Amino acid sequence: MRSGSAHSDKEETMKVRCKFYVASISHHHASYPNAEPTSCVNISLSPIWEEDGPNRKWSKATPNGKIEMTITNPEAAEAFELGKIYNVDFTPDE
Note the pLDDT tens digit of each residue in 24-61.
Answer: 999 998 787 887 888 899 999 999 887 777 777 777 77
> Is 60 inside a domain boundary?
yes
Q: Is the pLDDT of residue 6 over 70?
A: no
- CB 62 within 8 Å of CB 38: no
Give the per-residue pLDDT at 9.
52
Instruction: Write the pLDDT tens digit of every residue in 55-92.
Output: 777 777 778 899 999 999 999 999 999 999 999 998 88
The domain total for the chain is 1
Q: Is residue 79 part of a domain?
A: yes
- Does a structural domain hold residue 66? yes
For the chain, the three-class secondary structure string (H helix, E strand, C coil) is CCCCCCCCCCCCCCCEEEEEEEEEEEEEEECCCCCCCEEEEEEEEEECCCCCCCHHHHCCCCCCCCEEEEECCHHHHCCCCCCCEEEEEECCCC
Give the structural domain span for 42: 16-90
| 10 is a domain residue | no
Q: Is residue 6 part of a domain?
A: no
Does residue 30 belong to any structural domain of this protein? yes
CA-wise closest residue to 48 among 77, 25, 79, 17: 17
Model pLDDT, residue 11: 62
